[in-house]
Structure 1
């Protein structure tokens, strides 16, 4: 049997290990810039969507997927924080008058916004 083979259907090279051909897989870690939400999505995929996770790993699209999810969720959180701060009257004026109250309200708003967008991570 050949030591190395190439499968044209999926574009992968395989190496013979004992009686089995195993794919030569490389994880592209140079793009792994995803943050908190990308890490949360990766953990969810590993635990609850293992077939999807394996597919993304095998096709080399996992890092791209996690970066995209992280970016989308961060943008949604930022947008919601801005909108909610405006609705709840958390202004720069409040920040100047009572910094601790402003911090309390902004932390509360950020927590609520993160809860609202978590559904995007866990689908």
Structure 2
């Protein structure tokens, strides 16, 4: 049998405290739901477009994995790692493919419109590669 202490500062029906487990409960409809808070992550790291794309993907397609990361407090760190990995791959592929396809600063100086068109096509191709290899995995 649980011992409950009702906090008088709140509406008496809204919040109760369970002495046996040390948790507060909030009345939601006809049920008392524990007032739980996720643990704070130790470090704040940048999450950019790649991390957000991956977050959207795991939220929609890998719900158990997403929930495990969220509950364990490792989601932010995981997404930051994905962000770094994807950005490094993107930068490396852009440089390699631009050199291989002859998209240089000389071309940019001589024919800007051609350079922009080729860079946009290259960026689209590299983005698709990063999405396939890192983001939607």
1:62 to 47, 54, 75: 75
Which of the two has higher C-alpha Rg?
A: 2
Tell me if 1:41 matches 2:54: yes
Distance 1:76 1:62, change over 3 A: same
Distance 1:61 1:99, change over 3 A: same
Tell me if 1:74 matches 2:87: yes
Show the counterpart of 1:53: 66
Residues of 2 paired with 1:71 and 1:80: CA distance?
14
Distance 1:113 1:4, change over 3 A: farther
Question: Are the equivalent residues in 2 in contact too, given 1:4–1:16 (CA < 8 A)?
Answer: no
Residues of 2 paired with 1:27 and 1:44: CA distance?
23
Indicate the SS of the match to 1:23. coil
Residues of 2 paired with 1:103 and 1:116: CA distance?
20
Tell me if 1:112 matches 2:95: no
Unpaired runs of at least 5, structure 2 = 3-17
- Equivalent residues in 2 for 1:74-113, closer than 5 Å: 74-113=87-126
Unpaired runs of at least 5, structure 1 = 7-13
- Cα displacement (A) at 1:103: 1.0
Residues of 1 paired with 2:19 and 2:100: CA distance?
66
Distance 1:102 1:4, change over 3 A: farther
CA RMSD of aligned residues (A): 2.2
- Cα displacement (A) at 1:99: 1.0
Tell me if 1:16 matches 2:16: no
- Bigger fraction of residues in helix: 1
Describe the superposition over 1:68-118 as per-residue Cα deviations: whole angstroms up to 9, x where unpaired: 111110110110000000010011110110111111111111110111111
